[in-house]
Structure 1
Amino acid sequence: MGTHADKVDGPGSQSDDRVDVEQLDQVAVPPVTLQSFAHLNEKAILRKMDIRLIPMLALLYLLSFLDRGNIGNAKIEGLQESLGLTNDQYNWCLTAFFFTYAAFEVPSNLMLKRVRPSIWLPTIMVAWGVVMTLMGIVRNYAGLLSARIFLGVTEAGLFPGVAYYLTNWYRREEIQLRQAMFFSAASVAGAFSGLLAFAIGKMDGVGGLRGWQWIFILEGIATVLVAAIAFFALFDFPETATFLTEEERAFVIYRLKYQGQRGDDSGREQVAQADGFKWKYVKDAFLDWQIWVNIIVYWGIVCPLYGISLFLPTIIRELGYKSSQAQLMTVPIYITAAIFAVFAAYCSDRVGRRSPFIAGFLLVMAVGFAMCIGTDPKENPRVVYGGVFLAACAIYPAFPGVIAWLSNNLSGSLKRSVGMAIQIGVGNLGGAMASNFYRAKDAPRYILGHGLELGFIGGGLVASAILVLGYTTQNRKRARRIQEGALDSYTSQELSEKGDRAITFRYVL
C-alpha cells in the first residue's frame, strides 16, 4: 500500500496545478494498468469516499430543498393572510424563484470548474442563507417576490454543482446510488420541513413575529451555520483528497479515466475526453440532442416533484385536516420516498440500466395521480392521500435516475458539467410551471393540477422511449464500425477529443 501523501492541505485545499480527473496524461502517476492496482480493496476505498463526501453533501442539499420549499409550510401558518397576498400573487412568488434558478445554473457550473468546490459551494450557501433569513422580515408582496428572485439566484449552483462534482469521484455504474443518497435529502427535507414547521409554528407571537416568519429566520440561520462548517469539511477532487493514500488517489483517477469506452477485440482501452476549458465543449453540450430529449423526461419527473413539494401540505389540508395535522401527515410520505430512492438506485447500479427504472416509476406516478384525479376527496380522502403517497414514492427514486442517466452518457469533464447544468437549469423551468398547477379555486379536487402532472408524465415516457431507441441505434452502429476496422482510422488523441461521440463510447440504456 502507498503511504499518505506528504501534504499539509486540509479537506478544502487544492494545489494550484490541479488537473481534471480525466487529464491523467498530465499527472506523473506510475502504475498505468488496472492490474497494477489489483492489490487495493476497491470497496474499502469507495466506503472511504462515501463516508467523507455523501453526508456533508446531503446536509447541504437538505437545507437547500428545505429553504426553497418551506414557503408551502409558511403558507398554512398564515403567510398569505399576513402579507395580504392574492392567490395569483402567491403563485408568482413561487414561480419567480425558478426563472433565476434556471438562468444561473450553467454560469455557476462554469464557475465551479474554475473555483474550488470547497470554496464555491459554501459561498453560495451563505448567500442563500442570508436571503432566507431576510425573507422572514418582508412586509408585502414586493418584498417576498424580490426575496424569492434572489433565492433562485443564490441556490442555483448547488444541485447541478454537486451532481457534476460526484461524477469526478464515482464511475458510471456507481453514480446513481450516490446521487440517490445525496438527493434523498430532499425527501428527508420534506419530512423535516413538516416537523420543523409544526414546532416553529408554536413560536407565533414570540418577539412580535408570526410563526411563518420564524420558519424563514431560523432555517436561514441554520443554513449559514452549516455553510461555515462546509468551508472546512468539503473535499475538492480525488487528486488532492488527504483521506486517501497516494496510491489510492492514483487508482481513483485511473478508474475514472478509463470508463464508458470500448476498444477493439484486443481489449485496447480508450480514455475519455481530456478537456481543459474550451468553448468548443460548451457548444457541444448545447447542441447535443440527448440533453434536450432528456429534459422532457426530466420535466415528466420534476413537475410532479415540485407539485408535491410545494403543495403537499395544502393538498392534505384540503382533505379536511387541520394545518398542524397536515404538516405531520407529510412526514411518512417523505421518509418512505427516501428509502425507496436509495433502494432503487442500488438496484439500478447493480444491473447497469437506467431507463427501465425511470419508465417504471413514471408509470407508478401516473397511477398515483390518476387515483387523485378520479376520487372525490370529500367522500374518500384516504384514496387521495394514498394517491399522493404512491406518486411521491415514485418521484423521489426517479429523479436521481434521470440525473445519473444523462451524466453516464456525457463524456468529458467540461461537457458533462455544462450538459448537466443545462439539464437541471432548463429542466427546473418545470418547477415554474408546476408552481401554478394547483390553484386555490380548484380546491379540493385540483383536477387541473393532477391532470397537468399526468400530461407531463406521459411526455416523459415518450421521451424515454426516444432516448432508448437513439442510444441503442448508436451503440449498434459503433460496434459494427469497430468490427469493420474503423478504429484503425483514429488516433488515441482524436478519439479522446470526440468524447461520447467516439466510436469507442457506449451509451448506457
Structure 2
Amino acid sequence: MEPPTYEKPDTSVSEKGFHEEVEVVDFGGDSSLPPPPQLTADEERRLWRKVDLRLLPILTLMYLCSFLDRGNIGNAKLAGLVDQLHLVGNQYNIALTMFFVPYCLAECPANLALKKFRPSRWLPGITLVWGTIMTLMGLVKTYPQLVGVRICLGVAEAGLFPGVVYYLSIWYPRHMLQTRVGIFYSAASLAGAFSGLLAFAIEFMDGTQGLESWSWIFILEGIATVTVGILAFMVLVDFPNTAKFLTPEERAFVIWRKKYDNSSVGEAEKFEYRYVWAAFKDWQVWLHILIYMSIVAPLYGISLFLPSIISGFGFSTPITQLLTVPPYIFATCVLLVFAHFSDKLKLRSPFILCGLTMLLIGFSINISDVPRGVKYFGVFFCVAGSYASFPGVVAWLGNNLCGQYKRGVGMALHIGIGNFAGAIASNIFRTQDAPRYILGHGLELMFVGIGFISTPIAIIAYRRINAKREAELQANGGVSKYTAEQTRELGDRAPDFRYTL
C-alpha cells in the first residue's frame, strides 16, 4: 500500500470565513506531532477500531464492576442482609440514599481532578479504592456500619462515570460519541444480568467461613473489582498525544478530527475559571438536568428494586434472582441499537423520546392490577427504556457544549445534580407498599412526564437557535464577524456552531 500523504489542514480565510487568517494554535499537544495524514474512509475506520479496542474493553469492564457494586445490595437484600443486620422501617432505603449524596457532590470536583492526575492513574486508582470498600462491606455487622460504607462507596465511585464520558469526549468526534458511550454503558445493563446470576450462584456459599451468602456477594464482587483496577493500571492510556499504541501520524489525525469537530477553529483548551462559570450559567445544562432526571430516576428505581418487584409477583428467591436476568439482556440489545442509529443519523432526541415511551408503557403496566405474567412483560419496557436512552441523554449535552473545560464541568454538573434523582428513587419503593408498589411506580411515571415536557423544549430551543445562526451567517455573506480567537472563546455560542438535535 502506498504510504499516506500528509498536509496541514487548510486555514485560509476563503474556507474558514473569518476576517483574518486563522492562526494555528496548540490543541491537545498537536504542535509536537507531525501534520495529520489524509486517510481514506477504510483507513479511518481501521484507526478508530484500533482506538476502540484499546479504550472500550477496559472502560466497559470497570463500569460493569461499578454498577455491579452499587446495585448488588438489591440482591443481598433478598439473600438475608435485612434480617442479619436487623434493618427495620426505611433503614434499607436510607442506606441506599446515603450512597447518592456524596456520589452527586463529588462528581464535579472529580472531573476537574481527572485531567490534573491523568486518566491512566485516576480512573484505575478510584477503582481500586471502591473495590476495597465493596469487599469490606461484606464484613459489616450493624446498620450504622452499612451506612458508613455506602457513603465511602459513593465518594469513591463518583469520579468514574462523568470522568469516562469526559475522557471519551476528548478522544472521539461528537457524532461518534454515543456509540462508544453506549458500548461503555451497556456494562450497566449487563451488570444487572450478571448480578442476578452471580447472586444465584453465591447463595450456595451460605454459611461458608461463618458468613451468610449476602456477605459473599459483596466480598467476591469487591475482589473482582480490585483485580480489574490493577489491570486498568496496565492497560489504560491518557490522551491522544501521549498514546503510544498509536503512531505519531495516527495521534495527529485523532487530535485534528477532534480539534475541528465542534468548531472551524478548534476549541479553547487552556483552563480559566470563566469556563467553569460559563457552564454554571448555560441554560442548556439546567434543562438537560431535568431530561437526565427523567431517565435516571426510573433507571435507579428499577435497578435497585427489580429483585424486590419481581419477588412481589410471588416467585421464590432463587427464581427471582434468575428472572432479573432476561430484562437486562433485552435492554442491552436495545441500547446498542439505539446508540448505533443515533450516531448514524446524528440525532439524539428521537431515541430519548422512544425510551420515555417505553418507560410510560412499562410503569403503566406495573401500576395496574394485572396478572404477574403481564407485569413481568412490563418490566422489560421499564429496564430497556431507561438503560437504552441513558447514553443518548449524556451524549446529547456533551455534543452541545464546546470548550474542553466547559464541557467537563457542564457534564459533571449534569450527571452530579441529575443523580440526585437516584437518591429520590432509592426511597419510593417502600417495604410497606409491596407487592404492587403503587407509590413507586406512580412517582416514576411523574419523572417520565418531566421528560416528555423538557425534551421537546430542548428540541424547539435548539432548532430556533440553529436557524437564527444560519440566517445571520447568510446575511453576512457567509463571513463571520468574529476573529478566530473570539470564535474559540465563544465555544458553543459561536455563529458557526450548530446544536445537535
**Superposition TM-score, scaled by structure 1 size:** 0.92
Amino acid at match of 1:305: L
Does residue 31 in structure 1 map to residue 25 in structure 2?
A: no
Query: Which of 219, 222, 226 pairs up with 1:220?
Result: 222
What does residue 350 of structure 2 align with?
356
Q: Is contact 1:130-1:221 (8 Å) kept? A: yes
Query: Which of 467, 480, 499 pairs up with 1:476?
Result: 467
Amino acid at match of 1:51: L
Q: Which runs of 5+ in 1 are unaligned?
A: 4-20, 262-269
Shift of 1:38: 4.6
Does residue 490 in structure 1 map to residue 482 in structure 2?
A: yes
Does residue 330 in structure 1 map to residue 324 in structure 2?
A: yes
Shift of 1:130: 1.1
Identify if the C-alpha distance between structure 1 residues 130 and 173 changes in structure 2 by more than 3 Å, giving closer, same or farther: same
Distance 2:346 2:447 in 1: 26
Amino acid at match of 2:390: F
Distance 1:125 1:338 in 2: 23
Shift of 1:236: 1.1
Q: Is contact 1:190-1:331 (8 Å) kept? A: yes
Shift of 1:155: 0.3
Does residue 346 in structure 1 map to residue 340 in structure 2?
A: yes
SS in 1 for 2:262: coil
Distance 1:38 1:187 in 2: 35
Shift of 1:54: 0.7
Query: Which of 444, 462, 482 pairs up with 2:453?
Result: 462
Identify if the C-alpha distance between structure 1 residues 81 and 260 changes in structure 2 by more than 3 Å, giving closer, same or farther: same
Deviations 1:94-148 (A, max 9, x none): 0010000000000000000211101000111111111111111111110000000
What does residue 287 of structure 1 align with?
281
Distance 2:206 2:195 in 1: 17
Q: How does 1:374-413 map to 2 (within 5 A)?
A: 374-376=368-370, 380-413=371-404
Deviations 1:464-506 (A, max 9, x none): 0111111111111111111122844211000011111111100
SS in 2 for 1:386: helix
More deviation, 205-214/243-252: 243-252
Aligned residues: 479
Distance 1:276 1:132 in 2: 37
What does residue 315 of structure 2 align with?
321
Amino acid at match of 2:467: R
Q: Is contact 1:2-1:245 (8 Å) kept? A: no
More deviation, 482-491/129-138: 482-491
Amino acid at match of 2:486: E
Q: How does 1:260-299 map to 2 (within 5 A)?
A: 260-261=262-263, 270-299=264-293
Q: Is contact 1:122-1:231 (8 Å) kept? A: yes
Q: How does 1:174-213 map to 2 (within 5 A)?
A: 174-213=176-215
Does residue 365 in structure 1 map to residue 369 in structure 2?
A: no
Distance 1:63 1:445 in 2: 30
Distance 2:225 2:28 in 1: 36
SS in 1 for 2:90: helix
Between the aligned residues of both structures, percent identity stands at 53
Distance 2:380 2:30 in 1: 51
Deviations 1:360-411 (A, max 9, x none): 11011101110111124xxx00111111111211211100010010100011
Identify if the C-alpha distance between structure 1 residues 479 and 385 changes in structure 2 by more than 3 Å, giving closer, same or farther: same
Amino acid at match of 1:320: G
Q: Is contact 1:66-1:190 (8 Å) kept? A: yes
Q: Which runs of 5+ in 2 are unaligned?
A: 6-24
Does residue 504 in structure 1 map to residue 490 in structure 2?
A: no
Shift of 1:28: 4.3
SS in 1 for 2:185: helix
**Superposition TM-score, scaled by structure 2 size:** 0.93
Deviations 1:171-206 (A, max 9, x none): 111110110000000000000000111111111100
Identify if the C-alpha distance between structure 1 residues 39 and 410 changes in structure 2 by more than 3 Å, giving closer, same or farther: closer
Query: Which of 442, 457, 464 pairs up with 2:433?
Result: 442
Q: How does 1:41-56 map to 2 (within 5 A)?
A: 41-56=43-58
Amino acid at match of 2:278: D
Distance 2:34 2:300 in 1: 48
Deviations 1:62-87 (A, max 9, x none): 00000000000000001001000113
What does residue 11 of structure 1 align with?
none
